Structure 1
Amino acid sequence: MPSPFPRLFALALLALAAPLSVAPAQAQAERCPKLVATSPFLSPPRLTAIPAAMPGEREVSLTFVGHATFLIETAGGVTLATDYNDYVRPSVVPRVATMNRAHSTHYSLNPDPGIERVLKGWREDRDPVHYDLEVGDLWIGNLPTNIRDWEGGTIKNGNSIFIFRAADLCIAHLGHLHHTLTPEDLGALGRIDIVLAPVDGSYTLDVDGMVEVLKALESPVVIPMHFFNPSTLERFLAKLADSRYTIARQPTPTVVLSRASLPTMPTVMVLPGR
């Protein structure tokens, strides 16, 4: 039986030189080939209701809270909320919160004082912000990207793709992504197992552009977010179904994943939310 990790060693080596905020030795140790679409789930993910069940030793729990906010929980008990804001928040105070600049549903000026680390995905001077830190058994990095302003201009480095690594899983939250990714961006990101993707097709990247990004990332699991209404979500799903992605609709907003449960056929995992 062929190995599920067969190809792109040359691309993985090229990725080591790209400018993601990871220390060179760590980047070299953590790069690995992308998966190949050949078979369905190796083993089924665990589905739970909120509050999330404690993930096992080699598992990560993901809960879609709504809009662009997910609650990530590791086996070591670290909790992180993505695009933390004043409107959509998890039921627990996370240990870590990430934010993006686009507008107020992606950041908070008054985060809960119980949050240990608040990580903004931008700097006011528009220079890129860089994170390379460990909180318990969770590693956090980022790749700065540009966003549009309300007049159609460009705000340099106004968004970050945040990357989280736990239980040997690499998770990327695309934030408020407004443009496709360059080969240098893709090389910097390396292997992404689970991508949390905004699919509204207007406020962020258009649907065709987002599909291009997802195909380039070749992640085994795509979880849609930032879709506002069912028709917008269905338009995105139809486009990916045409691109030979499997659509898997989940009954609960929480899924517990491990490397053993990753599919090798690209799969869109739809969690209840908005």
Structure 2
Amino acid sequence: MRPPRQKAGRAKRRFKMRIKYLGHACFLLEANDGTRILTDPYEPGSFDGAVKYRPVAETADIVLVSHDHADHNWSAGIPGSPQVIKEDGERAVSGIKVLGVPSFHDTSRGSERGNNIIFRVELDGLAVCHLGDLGHALDPASASALLPVDVLLMPVGGTFTIGAQVASEVMEILSPTLTIPMHFKTDGVDFPIDPVDGFLAKKDNVIRAGSSEITVSRGDIPSGIVLLDPSLLP
């Protein structure tokens, strides 16, 4: 005897989003429908050659720029004509909700390194938060504006951004399901920042993916910290 056929419309469709780590603070977020978002593209060779990552060749529909430094703002190098967002505020782009929350690149309200925008995008039923070059602990108002967070893309290398200790505090405040570290010392950048190991030390639920990308969905998302390998190392 055959089991009863499930009625049309009963099953919920699960949308999958691809997250690819290109390097430094640059990620590709690709939605289930093919919409592509790039975060903080860097200019190869900038800062007198300190940025050694290979060029970003990915196309994008939307480019998010957290601040106007060459290792984060090279939207001119992205193929095609993406919509570039570099302001705070709330907007809908191609049906995607994008929120920009103002912050600073240092602990002195921007007097040392300027302003920074934290971006929160809602994609395939998931809230993804990219902290840019956040340089200070989160204040309650900013944290409240960003919540809830499913996926947190967070700098951990220190010096120019929050380091391991403050990053851990930010992670606790935002309480994401998944955290992906970024902006740490690699062969792709000759900056005086720390490797990722200091942040990962004594952390539970750390997954070293062994690849540059991960696919997540509303019902299938790792809990904890996932370390992705930058795909554009020299």
**Normalized against structure 1, the TM-score is what?**
0.68
Q: CA deviation at 1:86?
A: 2.2
Please report how far the alpha carbon of residue 205 of structure 1 lies from its aligned counterpart in structure 2 after TM superposition: 1.1
Aligned match of 1:204: 161
Q: What SS does structure 1 have at the residue aligned with 2:141? A: helix
1:154, distance to aligned residue in structure 2 (A): 4.7
1:149–1:155 Cα contact (<8 Å) kept: no
The structural deviation recorded for 1:112 is: 3.8
How far apart are 1:227 and its partner, in Å? Answer: 0.6
Q: 1:42-53 counterparts in 2 under 5 A?
A: none
Unaligned runs of 5+ in 1: 1-55, 122-128
Gaps spanning 5+ residues in structure 2: where? Answer: 1-12, 45-52, 188-193
Matched, 1:192 2:149: yes
Match of 1:120 among 66, 74, 86: 86
Q: How many residues align?
A: 203
Please tell me whether the aligned partners of residues 81 and 90 of structure 1 are also in contact (alpha carbons under 8 angstroms): no
Please say if 1:168 is aligned against 2:125: yes
* Secondary structure at the counterpart of residue 77 of structure 1: coil
Q: CA RMSD in A?
A: 2.4
In the TM superposition, what is the alpha-carbon distance from 1:188 to its structure 2 partner? Answer: 0.8
Give the secondary structure class of the aligned counterpart of 1:178.
coil
Question: Which of 133, 146, 171 is residue 92 of structure 2 equivalent to?
Answer: 133
Alignment of 1:23-172 (within 5 A): 57-87=14-44, 89-101=55-67, 103-108=69-74, 110-112=76-78, 114-121=80-87, 129-136=88-95, 138-148=96-106, 153-154=111-112, 158-172=115-129
CA distance in 2, matches of 1:155, 1:135: 32
| Distance in 1 of aligned mates of 2:132 and 2:154 | 8
2:213 maps to which residue? 254
Change (3 A) 1:75 1:202: same
Equivalents in 2 of 1:163, 1:176: separation in Å?
Answer: 14
Per-residue deviation, residues 230-263 of structure 1 (Å, max 9, x unmatched): 9611111005x1xxx3100102111110121124
Q: CA deviation at 1:153?
A: 2.6
> Which of structure 1's runs of 4+ aligned residues deviate more than 4 A?
none
Counterparts of 1:100 and 1:146 in 2: how far apart (Å)? Answer: 10
**Does the 8 Å contact 2:39/2:64 carry over to 1?**
yes
Secondary structure at 2:215's aligned position in 1? Answer: strand
Match of 1:24 in 2: none
Shift of 1:64: 0.2
| Per-residue deviation, 1:85 | 2.8
Cα drift, residue 174 of structure 1: 0.4
Q: Distance in 2 between matches of 1:261 and 1:112?
A: 31
Deviation at 1:170, TM superposition (A): 0.4
The amino acid that maps onto 2:97 is W
Contact residue 100 and residue 120 of structure 2 kept, 8 A: yes
- Separation in structure 2 between the aligned mates of residue 205 and residue 149 of structure 1, nearest angstrom: 9
Instruction: Please identify which structure carries the higher helix content.
Output: 1
Q: Specify whether residues 221 and 162 from structure 1 end up closer, same or farther in structure 2 by C-alpha distance, changes over 3 A only.
A: same
Residue in structure 2 matched with residue 221 of structure 1 by the alignment: 178
Q: Deviations over 1:32-55 (max 9, x none)?
A: xxxxxxxxxxxxxxxxxxxxxxxx
Q: TM-score, normalised by structure 2?
A: 0.78
CA distances 1:167-190 after superposition (whole Å, capped 9, x unpaired): 110000000001111111111111
SS at match of 1:80: strand
Task: Using the aligned pairs only, state the percent identity.
Answer: 27
